[in-house]
Amino acid sequence: MVTGYFPDLEQLEQRQPRGKVLVVDDQAINIRVIHQLLNDEHQLFVATSGEQALEFCLNSPPDLILLDVVMPGMDGLEVCRRLKQEESTARIPVIFVTGHDDKDEEEACWLAGGVDFVPKPVSGMTLRHRVMTHLTFKLQSDLLREMALMDGLTGVANRRRFDEALNAEWRRSQRSKGLLSLIMLDIDHFKAFNDEYGHQAGDDCLKQVAKAVLSAVRRPGDLLARYGGEEFAIVLPDTGKQGAKEVAEAAADAIRELQIRHQPSDHDQVTASFGVASLDLARHSSAKDLLEQADEALYEAKDSGRNKVCVG
């Protein structure tokens, strides 16, 4: 799942490298050993086959994977290769746990996409240090990535982050046959606002609107993004048409409650128009189709008087 707002730099740097670690091994004794070594420091999850590991990672990506190489069915090398092919799992560090001291297998681990490997029998100190090291690297990488995907003015996600999130949630909804909704919103007569009050006031208005809309986007998995200029978008996983409409109406109310003066507007204060679209497998063949429907609903709201929510 994706998030709707990014914490500031200081908050990110204060995070502890205590991670969500997936242990993948078909032998119960190996799982117990790793559990005893890491359970006090990290949140551990277990998969006993390659197929189970892939399903877990696609539905709830961990921060790091400890992956056995030799398993019946799908082996660890194939699991890693498949993880690296999926956008949502490609950046998860994989540490191979191997019982063979073999150069060819070591090279195969690197080629499959592993970041490190630990020999069996596992050394407790070695395992703990390597897990902590790669979790710290992952944290730093995530920090840089989040900063690159944040809108510098409003502090919410930027257009690039929106595109990634919408495509990822679209693919997830296709796999799970789940719900997905999208809201597009546009501040009414914003050019006139800038012309009347100046661009500094316009920037302040955008910040306040983003914060107000965020108050209506309550779930951690929802994403608010600045789509461009005075336009914002909200991605709502696991949400149907009625739920998305309620979010849009709450956001519209929150903007009106700001009571930002806007003399050139028909309403004398800053308002916004909203377009809502929800996934319809019979109607939408791509994320682009869903986006186009939300955009059409937005233009309907604007053409019919603005300051309203229209559902496509």
What amino acid positions are annotated as catalytic residues? 230
CA max distance for the chain: 75
Q: Strand, helix or coil at 295?
A: helix
Distance in angstroms (rounded) separating the CA atoms of residues 109 and 30 = 19
User: Which of 206, 205, 243 is CA-nearest to residue 221?
Assistant: 243
Q: How far is CA 84 from CA 66, 77, 94, in A?
A: 15, 11, 10
| Cβ atoms of residues 28 and 56 within 8 Å | no
- Rg value, the chain, Cα: 23
Confirm if 183 and 276 have CB atoms less than 8 A apart: yes
The residue type found at 152 is G
